[in-house]
Amino acid sequence: MVLTEDQRRRYSRNTMLEGIGGDGQRLLLSSHAAVVGCGALGSIVSMYLAGSGVGKLTIIDFDTIDISNLQRQLSFTTSQCGRSKSAATADRLREINPDITIQSIDRLLTKANIGQLIGDADIIVEGSDNPATKYLVTDYAVSSGIPYVIGGVEQWRGQVMSWTKGHKNYRDVFPESAAEGGYTPCALGGVHGPLPGIIGSAMASEAIKIICRCGTPLFDRIMLFDAGTMTPMVVNI
């Protein structure tokens, strides 16, 4: 793939980076990422992946925009309340980068449809506010061999980990039921507004590194962040 003049300008800050360069940018442009959930985490992740030039983004979310989302989901506006999150996110991503393909899916991800909706994705980024969905994505990724990044936030704390074949997955860290999946959904416990920006940015960085085969992704490690004390920690698992 030869980058066009517009692509060379658009992605110049990527291609300057050691570890990405022109080869990494071509990997990004030829890749397909599926983003599960486009609320606080997924909206941040998808914007960074679009800006970085991931060639195809599939955005999956069945929810609609609510005024309570706007405290942290800054890709949405008050006038969009009631609209499909996946459709609104897709429109935002097309404004950020018309150079890539955006597919929005306004459906609940289930065991029966996950294979169809994820399709031929090269990587899955899971940012839903639903522990059961995290287990569903984990099981599908492990069975299909698709690398994934998974993140979550609650109150003042967030976490991120990545997986590919041969490494420990989300169930290895949280092997119990969905209720024991490591955090309380925002709708029940609240969340510090800027926290998803920090965790979502880390998730996007992980996805880019995995696609470009650079850096050191969070395989067999989990990043924990406490915004209340501004304390980051990476734990081997």
| Residues annotated as part of the active site | 186
User: In the block, which residue shows the tokens 């960074």?
Assistant: 48
Chain center to CA of 152: 10
Gap between the Cα atoms of 226 and 233, Å rounded: 9
Helices (H), the chain: 5-10, 12-15, 21-29, 40-52, 85-96, 114-118, 131-144, 170-173, 186-189, 195-212
Q: How many helices (H) and strands (E) does the chain have?
A: 10, 8
The Cα angle at residue 208 between residues 196 and 23, in degrees rounded to 5: 160
What tokens does 149 get? 């990044």
Contact 185, 222 (CB under 8 A): no
